Amino acid sequence: MERHSSRRDVASDVLVSLASKRGQFLDFLARRTRERADAEDILQQGFLRATRKVATLRDTATADAWFYRILRRLLADAWARESLRQTVVAIEARPVGAPPDRVRCTCSVHLMDTLPPQYADILRRVDLQEQGVAEIADALGTAPGNVIVRLHRARKALRQRLLEVCGTRSSAACAHCSCDRASTGPLEMS
């Protein structure tokens, strides 16, 4: 019983220590987000995730580095969601019959369907449904590290498909897309 309560005390001490550095973590995030409110949101998500995962921390001396890793993952997810959200908003806001040079290309969204199913699934979960890595890992019955690796590979595969189909590796380059697919809807793949 004493060992269990000792472990709980250590977890509590780690969380208190992290909370005492809130300003430092918020500054880190604020330099990497557009709005301070976004940094606040990510920080709160980080504290929530840390609270749920603190028991997995093996060395309390590395708690700050561990928490920065959590924040970096949350930032990467937020950036990816924002990029895709901008693409989807531009697609939905497109006037009917707008000329291709004024339309954001839908290639990156449609190309997901040409990827292996496990890659398309992970991209949809993270970028469209805004699920977190831990949530996806639980749903798939795998480790968060495996989800991160699969997400990395899926994004790499999507960039490769963009290069093959559109001549670019970046969905951001689709903002000025003038390919035929920009205004034709779903891709017809041979």
Along the 190 residues of the chain, how does pLDDT read in single tens digits? Answer: 444 556 677 788 999 999 999 999 999 999 998 889 999 999 999 999 999 989 888 888 899 999 999 999 898 888 877 766 666 555 555 555 544 443 345 677 778 888 999 998 988 888 778 788 888 988 899 888 888 888 888 888 888 887 787 776 555 555 555 555 544 443 333 3
Stretch(es) of the chain classified as CATH 1.10.10.10: 94-190
Please state which CATH number belongs to domain 1-75: 1.10.1740.10
Residue matched to tokens 């990497």: 32
50-55 CB contacts, 8 Å cutoff, 24+ apart: 50/14, 50/15, 50/18, 51/15, 52/134, 53/134, 54/11, 54/14, 54/15, 55/7, 55/11
Structure tokens at 180: 């035929």
3-state secondary structure of 34: coil
pLDDT number for residue 177: 58
CATH of 94-190 given 1.10.10.10, 3.30.1330.10, 1.10.3210.10, 1.10.1060.10: 1.10.10.10
Give the pLDDT score at 101. Answer: 40
Q: Where exactly does CATH 1.10.1740.10 map onto the chain?
A: 1-75
pTM for the structure as a whole? 0.49
Q: Give the whole-angstrom CA distance, residue 109 versus residue 121.
A: 12
User: Is 71:42 a contact under the CB 8 Å cutoff?
Assistant: yes
* Residue whose token pair is 């269990």: 4
pLDDT of amino acid 147: 86
pLDDT at 28: 94
The set of residues, in sequence order, having a beta carbon less than 8 Å from that of 63 and lying 6+ positions away, is: 14, 17, 18, 57
Query: Angle 39-42-43 (CA atoms, 0-180°, nearest 5)?
Result: 85
Give how far the C-alpha of residue 166 lies from the chain's centroid of Cα atoms, to the nearest Å.
Answer: 23
